[in-house]
Amino acid sequence: MPEKRIAFPPLGQKEALCVDCVSEDGTSPERYESAFFQPDEAMASSEWSNSYSIAHTINGSGLPEGFGPADSHAAYGGSNHWTTSSGDIEGAWATYSFNGPATMDTLYIWHHRSTMPPAYSDGYAITRFDVEFLDANGEQLLLLEDLAGEPELASAAVYEFEQVEGVRDVQIIVRENNGDEQVTGLAEVAFGLTR
What pLDDT was estimated at residue 116? 76
Residue 16 within any structural domain of the chain: no
Confirm whether pTM is higher than 0.85.
no
pLDDT of 69 > 70? The answer is yes
Residue 100 within any structural domain of the chain: yes
pLDDT of 123 > 80? The answer is yes
What pLDDT was estimated at residue 147? 97
Residue 186 within any structural domain of the chain: yes
What pLDDT was estimated at residue 119? 78
Residue 8 within any structural domain of the chain: no
pLDDT of 108 > 90? The answer is yes
Q: What is the mean pLDDT of residues 51-79?
A: 91
CA distances from 162 to 9, 106, 121 (A): 29, 8, 36
pLDDT category at 107 given cuts 50, 70, 90 is very high
pLDDT of 98 > 90? The answer is yes
Residue 23 within any structural domain of the chain: no
Q: What is the mean pLDDT of residues 39-53?
A: 92
pLDDT category at 30 given cuts 50, 70, 90 is low
Q: Which is higher by pLDDT, 22 or 34?
A: 34
Identity of the residue numbered 59: N
Please, which residues have CB within 8 angstroms of residue 12's CB and are 6 or more apart in sequence? Answer: none
Q: Which is higher by pLDDT, 152 or 95?
A: 95
Residue 111 within any structural domain of the chain: yes
pLDDT category at 106 given cuts 50, 70, 90 is very high
Average pLDDT, the chain: 83
Inter-residue contact 8 to 59 (CB < 8 Å): yes
Residue 118 within any structural domain of the chain: yes
- Structural domain containing residue 123: 31-192
Q: Which of 142-150's residues contact partners 24+ apart within 8 Å by CB, and which partners?
A: 146/175, 149/109, 149/111, 149/125, 149/177, 149/178, 150/111
Residue 22 within any structural domain of the chain: no
Q: Structural domain tally of the chain?
A: 1
pLDDT digits (tens, 9 = 90+) for 142-174: 999 999 999 889 999 999 999 999 999 999 999
Q: What is the mean pLDDT of residues 29-52?
A: 84
What pLDDT was estimated at residue 31? 63
Measured over the CA atoms of residue 143, residue 186, residue 44 and residue 106, the dihedral's sign is negative
CATH code of the domain containing 113:
2.60.120.260
